[in-house]
Structure 1
């Protein structure tokens, strides 16, 4: 079935009107931005709810709405533990970061590091941010593009370019204010679409299967295990990794990442900034819980409806004309048999609540997981033989498969608009922050200090355009990792701990000077890269969330030691 058969005119109308309205409104509303204060800090006019929604929209990319339901479908609710550190981080940021940034009237977070340490430390922190956020900007475009390309048959490169150009138009035109204004409306579209999808999923469950019973079914299948209090490093998501590693990641992201800092620096006052961040802290975990719950309901839906052995449609298409097709089809038929057995077991469980039946359901799910794993091996073999890029891990395709095959006309267009709005909102924030950091922290401080306000606006616009083009290029050459939402967080975790450590040294270790911090940060970044590679190749076990904590501690320890040794040498002399 072609894209034109899947999308009816109602879907095209909703999709095009939603995207066009946001781009045109954002461009028109901010057409009068004249100075740096307006362009980079939004004229310091943002109210707390605009800040809160803008902060949430920046973090909640298309990856969130594509990958998270699939994460719940395959692994259950445990991923929500990843966000447990966010409320803690919000309190610390409100107490420490926001008053300091406001008092110093900074345009970027890294300005503070020059006044506290020196120019080279400010430049290093800015460069670390630019590397990781520049990569992430490309991925936030690429994520929805590759999935929509595979599912709908749209050309991947053209999709990357279209998403990138739409974002560039209003971000270059209006700067921070355009990003904040459009994100407010984008979040409205996103919440509306997700709530509608949630209730439609429940309405399409078999007669007699209420939401309460759906939760019972998910629980019997082992999908409702929210909390894991184990200390095992083998488990990527636990209560402790969320509270410790998640807090450090959130502190780094919301406190030192310019894409977030710029959102609340646009606030009218410290009070508005704090309220916006508290709003985000209170709503973030429930929002992610809800998105995971959508994935759980999709899982329950597919307990009563046939699901593909692999949700990536490209996989079956490429296998169709190979010698593996028969084996792949056999796996599909075995899965359908298991699904019928599970339906009988689920009916029995709902009537009796038997623990024996629960064990039988879990065993059937394990058998189905083994079949899906065998299907992935076949897909990987076909990809290798055909020299193609075929993603066998289908977590990112689960939700979009449900949308296209089960939602009514018009709502498919709305949910596609949700995905593209999320991509645009995150990418806009990233381009805005990348340009501001490049202009203020690198160009103005290291190349040309004589620019006036109007010239700085023009330079920042040019950097926005340049980063937009670079993000499109990264999107066009990128390739899927195991799971897109994890890929973005992995990239962040490699850098964030180090940058957070630099800021904590600035805040709380007053005797430490710039040279010690600069050298310590470089050594730490090399160590973190090494630890990440050792974990990837199986030589050690260190889930990526812990890299934030480890990186932060290492840079603090090294900088303190270097400063102490330097003082001792001075005393001896």
Structure 2
């Protein structure tokens, strides 16, 4: 990065922060701070909901996911439009009717205090951890670009978010997200155009798509019924449905976005905006990663994208081996490039087979390098897909545009982190402080809410420091959410549809279901069983519903 990049980067970020603080100056009531005075239109809600979900992780990890594994990850979102229709039809009218600040207030009126506390606590745990990961994601970029200490960078990144979130609350979060989404989408479209321009120096765009398809990068839908696979159409339509339903219907970071709407219609339209555009957006970002893979067929990539890991080989007995593997890799890349060009000129089965063999050979050398890194240091993280898109940005984009793309990633981090911290503060203020400590409204509510926003910002920074050893970041966030979302969703579905189930039954059912999901996760981590994490959502939800009904049959029913 040069001076121009730094001006573009910090100019963009500081203007967004200043805009959020300026537009929410003079805000002095708790309703405005937590709900934005119910003044938000559907466009602001729609962009705010999308920006909350589209974190920096989306723009770091998702292209890397496309580069490494192709388009299959998009199946994760196939259940989302159905979930948003259900939320619009069922959840939103109830929340508006009860005039709640948080989703968990409803649980006490339907069940009892301990169920409300359980729902709020599950949210605070999983969203607090996720907030840390969303701050950590852009911090690794800045630390690697400017050679800053990672921990210090995490503090700086989190501090930017805290400034306007503490200052302006929900309204500051929502109105700044419109600017952030404009920066994000402009940057991504420009980058895609640059990638295609580079590729078309060698082959046409249609030929590039053909090559990507032959290399198994464009397989978007997998109809396999194998539950061990992480991404299939079935896991997307079932586990993905439960995940999206819980996220948009019970996660306060999303609920708070549409509770600030002018009315039910504006909130519903904001969610339908996402139902229509979310899958195409994820498809486009994954396709960008696939195009980066094709790009690196014609332009030499590093044998390992995480330079920090490679540097650990310097001065070790493995350094010479690494040099030999690097030379071998360059030869394999040259052969792959020639075979791809040959296939494009004469697309027949023989040339296709040679192209696939050359591509597989290059992957084999990359794996040999990863194995070498593990030999040198068994604790080293060899997964480098999160660094693929960053490597392209920093190496091949022109100056100025580099600053814009880094601003894209930081804008995404700020938008999602601010929503999370804001919702964590709201839940703690309304469901913990107001309910258990002040026992109702207090003249100190505004001050307490701002103090809790600051506290959750500090805690998110602390969680970010603990996230250093995560694998692919987009998966890390989904795994954390999937562990807890199913149980929370089960509680709400019972509240809406099973009128005979009461507080004690749902509380103990949810506790058992949550413990079961956590056990399944650890059994999967330690390879005792193999289960795609999206299924955690369905298991947690269905167990909660089933057990609550069974337990209610045993327990005496209150009048």
- Residue number among 400, 409, 422 corresponding to 2:390 in the alignment: 400
The SS at the match of 1:39 is helix
User: For residues 209-251 of structure 1, what are the alpha-carbon distances to aligned partners after superposition, in whole Å with 9 as ceiling and x for unaligned?
Assistant: 2221211111121111111000012321011111111000000
- Residue number among 545, 549, 558 corresponding to 1:560 in the alignment: 549
The SS at the match of 1:209 is coil
Q: Which residue of the partner structure matches residue 551 of structure 1?
A: 540
After TM superposition, the structure 1 stretch with the greater mean CA deviation from structure 2, 526-535 or 559-568, is 559-568
Q: Which residue of the partner structure matches residue 15 of structure 1?
A: 9
User: For residues 364-408 of structure 1, what are the alpha-carbon distances to aligned partners after superposition, in whole Å with 9 as ceiling and x for unaligned?
Assistant: 222222222221122223334xxxx74310010000000000000
Distance in 2 (CA, whole Å) between partners of 1:337 and 1:148 is: 33
The SS at the match of 2:444 is helix
- Residue number among 457, 460, 478 corresponding to 1:471 in the alignment: 460
Q: Which residue of the partner structure matches residue 488 of structure 1?
A: 477
- Asked if 2 retains the 8 angstrom alpha-carbon contact of 1:44 and 1:267, the reply is yes
User: For residues 14-46 of structure 1, what are the alpha-carbon distances to aligned partners after superposition, in whole Å with 9 as ceiling and x for unaligned?
Assistant: 001001100111011101211111000011111
Displacement, 1:208? Answer: 4.6
User: For residues 183-208 of structure 1, what are the alpha-carbon distances to aligned partners after superposition, in whole Å with 9 as ceiling and x for unaligned?
Assistant: 11001110011111110111112525
- Asked if 2 retains the 8 angstrom alpha-carbon contact of 1:528 and 1:547, the reply is yes
The SS at the match of 2:555 is helix
- Asked if 2 retains the 8 angstrom alpha-carbon contact of 1:132 and 1:492, the reply is yes
- Residue number among 253, 258, 261 corresponding to 1:267 in the alignment: 261
Q: Which residue of the partner structure matches residue 161 of structure 1?
A: 155
Distance in 2 (CA, whole Å) between partners of 1:175 and 1:372 is: 47
Where do residues 22-171 of structure 1 align in structure 2 (5 Å cutoff)? 22-171=16-165
Displacement, 1:567? Answer: 4.4
User: For residues 488-510 of structure 1, what are the alpha-carbon distances to aligned partners after superposition, in whole Å with 9 as ceiling and x for unaligned?
Assistant: 00000000000000000000000
Distance in 1 (CA, whole Å) between partners of 2:153 and 2:295 is: 30
Distance in 1 (CA, whole Å) between partners of 2:377 and 2:432 is: 43
Q: Which residue of the partner structure matches residue 184 of structure 1?
A: 178
Distance in 2 (CA, whole Å) between partners of 1:532 and 1:316 is: 31
1:318 pairs with 2:312: yes
Distance in 1 (CA, whole Å) between partners of 2:161 and 2:471 is: 27
Distance in 2 (CA, whole Å) between partners of 1:356 and 1:565 is: 68
Displacement, 1:320? Answer: 2.1
C-alpha root-mean-square deviation of aligned residues, in Å?
A: 1.4
- Asked if 2 retains the 8 angstrom alpha-carbon contact of 1:146 and 1:156, the reply is yes
The count of corresponding residues between Structure 1 and Structure 2 is: 559
- Asked if 2 retains the 8 angstrom alpha-carbon contact of 1:150 and 1:313, the reply is no
Q: Which residue of the partner structure matches residue 439 of structure 2?
A: 449
Displacement, 1:514? Answer: 0.4
- Asked if 1 retains the 8 angstrom alpha-carbon contact of 2:50 and 2:278, the reply is yes
Q: Which residue of the partner structure matches residue 535 of structure 1?
A: 524
- Asked if 2 retains the 8 angstrom alpha-carbon contact of 1:151 and 1:313, the reply is no
- Residue number among 422, 427, 430 corresponding to 2:417 in the alignment: 427
Distance in 1 (CA, whole Å) between partners of 2:160 and 2:145 is: 22
Distance in 2 (CA, whole Å) between partners of 1:246 and 1:475 is: 26
Displacement, 1:321? Answer: 1.9
Moved over 6 A (4+): none
- Asked if 2 retains the 8 angstrom alpha-carbon contact of 1:517 and 1:555, the reply is yes
1:415 pairs with 2:409: no
User: For residues 294-314 of structure 1, what are the alpha-carbon distances to aligned partners after superposition, in whole Å with 9 as ceiling and x for unaligned?
Assistant: 101111110001111110111
Distance in 1 (CA, whole Å) between partners of 2:351 and 2:527 is: 37
Runs of 5+ unmatched residues, structure 2? none
User: For residues 450-492 of structure 1, what are the alpha-carbon distances to aligned partners after superposition, in whole Å with 9 as ceiling and x for unaligned?
Assistant: 443x421111101000000111111123223221000000000
Distance in 1 (CA, whole Å) between partners of 2:58 and 2:440 is: 42
- Asked if 1 retains the 8 angstrom alpha-carbon contact of 2:104 and 2:116, the reply is yes
Distance in 1 (CA, whole Å) between partners of 2:492 and 2:179 is: 33
Q: Which residue of the partner structure matches residue 323 of structure 2?
A: 329
Q: Which residue of the partner structure matches residue 239 of structure 2?
A: 245
Q: Which residue of the partner structure matches residue 166 of structure 2?
A: 172
Displacement, 1:154? Answer: 2.0
The SS at the match of 1:170 is helix
Displacement, 1:258? Answer: 0.2
Displacement, 1:417? Answer: 0.5
Distance in 2 (CA, whole Å) between partners of 1:566 and 1:17 is: 61
Displacement, 1:67? Answer: 0.4
Q: For residues 329 and 208 of structure 1, do their structure 2 counterparts lie closer, same or farther at Cα, with a shift above 3 Å needed? A: closer
Distance in 2 (CA, whole Å) between partners of 1:506 and 1:197 is: 46
User: For residues 339-358 of structure 1, what are the alpha-carbon distances to aligned partners after superposition, in whole Å with 9 as ceiling and x for unaligned?
Assistant: 11111211121122212322
- Asked if 2 retains the 8 angstrom alpha-carbon contact of 1:67 and 1:483, the reply is yes
Q: Which residue of the partner structure matches residue 366 of structure 2?
A: 372
After TM superposition, the structure 1 stretch with the greater mean CA deviation from structure 2, 333-342 or 306-315, is 333-342
Runs of 5+ unmatched residues, structure 1? 1-6
Distance in 2 (CA, whole Å) between partners of 1:374 and 1:47 is: 54
Distance in 1 (CA, whole Å) between partners of 2:111 and 2:294 is: 55
Distance in 2 (CA, whole Å) between partners of 1:559 and 1:348 is: 63
1:209 pairs with 2:203: yes
1:437 pairs with 2:437: no
1:509 pairs with 2:498: yes
1:199 pairs with 2:189: no
User: For residues 520-546 of structure 1, what are the alpha-carbon distances to aligned partners after superposition, in whole Å with 9 as ceiling and x for unaligned?
Assistant: 111111111101111111111211000
